[in-house]
Structure 1
Amino acid sequence: MSKKRNSTGKKILLFLLFVLVFFSLLPYVIPLGIPEQQVSAEEIAYENSNFLMVDGVNIHYRLWKPTLDPRGNVLLVHGLGGSTFSWRHNVMPLVEEGYQVMAVDLPGFGLSERGPGSADSQRWVEQLLYLIDSIEENSIWHLVGHSMGGGVATAMALEQPEKFSSLVLVCGAVYPPPLRFLLGLLQFPPAQRWLALLVNRGLLSPEGTEDLLASAYGRTPSPDEVEGYYLPLTIKGTEITMVELNTGTTVDMAVNLAERLGEVKQEAIIIWGENDSWVPLMQGERLAGDLPWSELVIIPEAAHCPMETHVNEFNRFLLDFLQRINPEA
């Protein structure tokens, strides 16, 4: 009986080993494929696109100046899969109120450079701090971050608080994911390859982008909205970005931020979509309790991207807040 049990145990172990080896090798047999169309950053650059080499990475940003002396500076930082395109409805109202506005593409996204090591959230903080100093040394900025960009903006406010007069978090992904221990599996190279396959064959298609936008918007996106997100994602190397986001420092930064939110010195407004299924409203309510000088405003019926889907309400909240921060400007 004992020999029979040992034999059965060995067969099970051999079977599990076979399965492990099979699924470890299979993703390398399946070609990554390429998007249906692929573009370069230069092909889809804007009239006011600028590029600056920072820490070995070519970063894309756009700058809008008011006609008179600026009453303040606003930095816009997009979320996961976004770019400067994400702020298209919000820039001009700010400029018309006298603000100098800069929207930036985080390395690995938009028109900024991809490549190994580019999708590092700790590194993003240092790169953006350098970038704003290159625009105007010793300048003071209002920080606006959406989703993942909210975490980056909060880290910047903590890193050099003297540079920032306020913090705006739009559905900010500041806290670590609840099942972050599972991300440890992505240290295993075959798991990284599987993720790259999922990105290439899912997100990097017009249909995949449309489905994700529909979820983030809480409505069906228009063809122009799909194209605005999809084209930058087809730039070669996007799949590297998506893999690195889950194997790099993003989660570590979120853990650190969650522990330091009480140290944020800037006044903050937290703008949330009532129906956000990506970063639930309960996280916004938690943030309002953890940030010392903050208020939470909720946009009814909005989902994860209120700055795009509920433009008038969002812009009103943002401009009213900035006016309260600098009433004399």
Structure 2
Amino acid sequence: MKKNSKKKYLFYAILIGLILLIKGAVYSDISVEVLKEKYANEHSKFVEIDGMQVHYRDEGKGMPIVLIHGTGASLHTWDYWASKLKEKHRVVRMDLPAFGLTGANSNGDYSIENYTNFLTKFLHKAELDSMYLVGNSLGGNIAWNFTAENPEAVKKLVLVDASGLPTNKPQPWIFKMAKTPIVNSMFLYVTPRAVIKDNIEQVYEDDSKISEDLITRYHEMALREGNRKAFIDRAKTDFKLGDNSNLEKLKSIKNKTLLIWGENDNWIPLDNGKRMDSLMPNSKLIIVKNSGHVPMEESPKESLLLFEDFINN
């Protein structure tokens, strides 16, 4: 009888512990209006595209530079680059659909084709027909697809750890989770700060560069109303990585292209950069030492210098 009582108390103790653990990881959506107060500034603008209020910033004057972020990020990932480049250039960056203050796309289509169409519409609204085009990760994939279709609009192309080719690495666990039924439903409510921190640690090589403010920004942007569902929908999208049409598209890009790659990228490894460089007829690959998947954020000075040398020469 006593053994049964002990088992029962142990069961209840574990159950209560799990409830408290889950409760501490449950976060409600944050309204875009609340986030605007913290993450929009005097340079922030909003333009309607496909029913979305797209958040973007347009700063400086001169030859335009368009910066496109990657999965889970926002236009803030380019803060350092933008702060320096706007002194001599017009710098335009946006929150892609599914991310940042822009939020979910009403049609739920997160294919590269739809993202490329979105970029085309955005550039038209911003009255941009000639630019230096820069993209990181997913943003890089969008950038090179756009360039393949609109080569005359891109003066020079810069791809920072860009996606678009299959990797020899297993898919990051958060994408696997987003594709798993039931588990992905929990993600709509249970989104621990620790999960976001772990993700950032995966894309950074040097964890000492990860600040609490950085984690907070990524976490709060993930909690923007609609973004968690959008992340799940995007993760389930088949991007057809590495099919023949994809490879031929890369080969067709004649624009001068700089490939900037973090030496220790755990999401899209350096081998992908080398293969992309071998496919593109007018490209140059430069490796950023001691850096991961987001060198423009983790190694901003080094990566910006590479970019400036490229566009100025």
TM range (shorter): 0.7 to 0.9
1:129 maps to a residue whose letter is T
Task: Report how many residues are paired.
Answer: 279
Distance 1:254 1:300, change over 3 A: same
Partner of 1:321: 310
Give the corresponding residue for 2:219: 230
Which residue matches 1:64? 59
Deviation at 1:41? 2.2
Map 1:181-260 onto structure 2 (within 5 A): 191-198=180-187, 200-201=189-190, 204-220=191-207, 221-249=210-238, 251-252=239-240, 255=243, 256-260=245-249
The alpha carbon displacement at 1:315 in A equals 0.8
Local SS of the residue matching 2:32: coil
1:156 is paired with a residue whose SS is: helix
Please give the alpha-carbon distance, in whole angstroms, between the structure 2 residues aligned to 1:190 and 1:254.
20
Gaps of 5+ in 1: 1-30, 181-185, 325-329
**Which of 99, 115, 132 does residue 124 from structure 1 map onto?**
115
Q: 2-side partners of 1:32 and 1:126: how far apart?
A: 40
Q: CA deviation at 1:174?
A: 1.6
Query: Structure 1 207/230 Cα, relative in aligned 2: closer, same or farther at 3 Å?
Result: same
Mean Cα deviation higher: 46-55 or 292-301: 46-55
Moved over 6 A (4+): 31-34
Write out per-residue CA displacement over residues 262-317 of structure 1, whole angstroms, 9 at most, x where no aligned residue. Answer: 10121100001111111110001111101110000001111111111111111100
State which of 135, 140, 145 in structure 2 corresponds to 1:145. 135
Decide which of 25, 49, 60 is 1:54's aligned counterpart: 49
CA distances 1:184-226 after superposition (whole Å, capped 9, x unpaired)? xx9xx9944433434753xx32211111111111232111111
| Long gaps (5+) in structure 2 | 1-21, 171-175
Equivalents in 2 of 1:270, 1:102: separation in Å? 20
- Superposed CA RMSD in Å reads 2.6
Alpha-carbon distance in structure 1 between the residues aligned to 2:297 and 2:27? 26
Task: Kindly indicate whether the alpha-carbon contact (under 8 Å) linking 1:167 and 1:267 is maintained by their aligned counterparts in 2.
Answer: yes
Deviations 1:90-136 (A, max 9, x none): 1021112x111111111011111314515333111111111112112
- Matched residue SS, 1:58: strand
Distance in structure 2 (CA, Å) of the matches to 1:233 and 1:159 = 31
Flag the 1:199–1:171 CA change in 2: closer, same or farther, 3 A. farther
Contact residue 206 and residue 290 of structure 2 kept, 8 A: no
Q: Residue in 1 aligned with 2:126?
A: 135
Work out the CA distance in 2 between the residues paired with 1:49 and 1:273: 29
Q: Which amino acid aligns with 1:169?
A: L
Larger radius of gyration: 1
User: Is 48-57 or 32-41 further displaced after alignment?
Assistant: 32-41
CA-CA distance at 1:51 after TM superposition: 1.4
